């Protein structure tokens, strides 16, 4: 079996960063494809190449006074798959002011194909760089009032654990960092690898409201704002009856045009996207163990359990019961 090329992850280092998140992110991604394999006495296969980057490649003084050594200079990072912005541990205004030279590099990398993800108050860096204007985001509830005052153009959803807007992700802080980390690992490496990491790191991923980020693996970046509007409607109303004709009327185009634009933007028709979102939601419910098989179809917008079961099996090659038995987190 050929060795997969690791995805490149850059963690932004700056004076005043929360040391536990900086080191935690380094560990979480560095040991993906390593810890599980060691436990099973298999060959390790690191899935991520992780580096801490600071301005000038200088050492980083964390908010707990721990000194961390950077691996590289952010100015020399021309591309990466994922850029992580850790939590600000010191005074937010002070850290932003002292690290303003980092902002152009965030903008530069955001214009590549990289995913950008922040944790907790790290979202202030993204907002200060203008990367969250007109987009949804989240941060720690304790900073929500300040964030709204400082960045009124951002659609802050402080009640959400994790948000996504295009290629930009935000986590609310604290334990939400692990939810975001697992979801990003799933985005790059698939559900099986993400589940392995959750098990080896003893991460309980049942926390919080997951509806807002269930569809990370479906929500590929694209520039069609009309399609994004329809996607958001589907994701917020997946458990209701949704007709393609209604979606087309909602955005004032014909169903044929909506189908064509959906195909171009996300490589599937609206009806296929509706089904995919519902299947993903069903998977999460089954994994959490918080749903009975009998009530599952109704919770994701289907009246007929037997027809939903056929659809689910076609998508996963497992019945809902088989999927629950195999992946339920209650069995971890």
Strand partners, 83: 10, 116
Both 235 and 138 in one domain: the answer is: no
Both 77 and 141 in one domain: the answer is: yes
Q: How far is CA 107 from CA 78, 128, 253, in A?
A: 12, 10, 34
User: Does 174 fall in a domain?
Assistant: yes
Can you give the pLDDT at residue 8?
Answer: 95
pLDDT over 90 at 73, yes or no: yes
Condensed to tens digits (0 to 9), the pLDDT of residues 142-174 reads: 899 999 999 999 999 887 888 888 889 999 877
Both 122 and 72 in one domain: the answer is: yes
Condensed to tens digits (0 to 9), the pLDDT of residues 295-327 reads: 898 999 998 889 899 999 888 888 898 888 776
Can you give the pLDDT at residue 187?
Answer: 87
Both 313 and 184 in one domain: the answer is: no
pLDDT over 90 at 289, yes or no: no
* CB distance 53 to 72 below 8 Å: yes
Both 123 and 152 in one domain: the answer is: yes
User: Does 220 fall in a domain?
Assistant: no
Both 201 and 229 in one domain: the answer is: no
Can you give the pLDDT at residue 28?
Answer: 92
Q: What are phi and psi of 300, to 5 degrees?
A: -115, 15
Both 203 and 248 in one domain: the answer is: no
- Model's pTM, two decimal places? 0.66
pLDDT over 90 at 248, yes or no: yes
Q: How far is CA 127 from CA 50, 66, 239, 290, in A?
A: 24, 27, 32, 36
Count of other CB atoms within 10 angstroms of residue 79: 10
User: Mean of the pLDDT values across residues 277-294?
Assistant: 83
pLDDT over 90 at 280, yes or no: no
User: Does 129 fall in a domain?
Assistant: yes
The enclosing domain of 246 has a CATH number of: 1.10.10.60
Looking at 163, 180, 207, the residue that finishes a domain is 207
User: Does 135 fall in a domain?
Assistant: yes
Q: What is the CA radius of gyration of the chain?
A: 21
Can you give the pLDDT at residue 2?
Answer: 43
The enclosing domain of 72 has a CATH number of: 3.40.50.880
Can you give the pLDDT at residue 327?
Answer: 66
Both 162 and 311 in one domain: the answer is: no
User: Mean of the pLDDT values across residues 100-127?
Assistant: 94
Can you give the pLDDT at residue 205?
Answer: 55
Range of the domain at 317: 225-331
Q: What percent of the chain has pLDDT over 70?
A: 91
Can you give the pLDDT at residue 223?
Answer: 80
Can you give the pLDDT at residue 230?
Answer: 93
User: Does 46 fall in a domain?
Assistant: yes
d(CA 17, CA 216): 27
Can you give the pLDDT at residue 1?
Answer: 35
User: Does 115 fall in a domain?
Assistant: yes
Share the mean pLDDT of the chain: 87
Both 178 and 264 in one domain: the answer is: no
Using pLDDT thresholds of 50, 70 and 90, give the confidence band for residue 257: very high
Can you give the pLDDT at residue 53?
Answer: 97
Total tally of structural domains belonging to the chain? 2
Condensed to tens digits (0 to 9), the pLDDT of residues 169-213 reads: 999 877 788 888 988 998 888 878 888 888 888 776 544 443 334
Using pLDDT thresholds of 50, 70 and 90, give the confidence band for residue 26: very high
């Amino acid at each position: 079996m050929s060795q997969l090329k690791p995805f490149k992850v850059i963690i932004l280092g700056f004076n005043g960063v929360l040391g536990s998140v900086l080191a935690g992110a380094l560990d979480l991604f560095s040991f993906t494809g390593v810890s599980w394999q060691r436990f099973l006495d298999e060959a390790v296969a690191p899935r991520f190449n992780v580096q801490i980057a600071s301005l000038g490649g200088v050492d980083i003084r964390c908010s707990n006074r721990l000194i961390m050594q950077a691996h590289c200079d952010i100015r020399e990072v021309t591309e990466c798959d994922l850029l992580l912005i850790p939590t600000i541990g010191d005074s937010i205004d002070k850290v932003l002011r002292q690290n303003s030279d980092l902002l152009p590099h965030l903008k530069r990398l955001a214009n590549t194909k990289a995913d950008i993800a922040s944790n907790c108050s790290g979202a202030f860096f993204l907002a200060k760089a203008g990367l969250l204007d007109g987009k949804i985001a989240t941060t720690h509830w304790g900073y929500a009032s300040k964030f709204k005052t400082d960045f009124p153009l951002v659609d802050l959803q402080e009640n959400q654990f994790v948000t996504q807007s295009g290629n930009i992700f935000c986590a609310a802080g604290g334990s939400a960092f692990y939810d975001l980390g697992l979801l990003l690992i799933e985005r790059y490496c698939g559900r099986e690898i993400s589940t392995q990491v959750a098990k080896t790191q003893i991460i309980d991923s049942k926390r919080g409201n997951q509806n807002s980020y269930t569809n990370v693996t479906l929500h590929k970046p694209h520039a069609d704002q009309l399609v994004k509007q329809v996607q958001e409607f589907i994701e917020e109303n997946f458990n209701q009856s949704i007709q393609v004709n209604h979606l087309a009327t909602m955005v004032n185009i014909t169903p044929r045009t909506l189908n064509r634009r959906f195909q171009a933007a996300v490589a599937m028709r609206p009806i296929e996207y509706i089904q995919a979102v519902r299947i993903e939601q069903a998977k999460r419910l089954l994994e959490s163990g918080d749903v009975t098989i009998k009530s599952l179809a109704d919770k994701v917008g289907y009246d007929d359990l037997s027809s939903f079961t056929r659809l689910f099996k076609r998508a996963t090659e497992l019945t809902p019961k088989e999927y629950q038995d195999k992946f339920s987190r209650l069995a971890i």
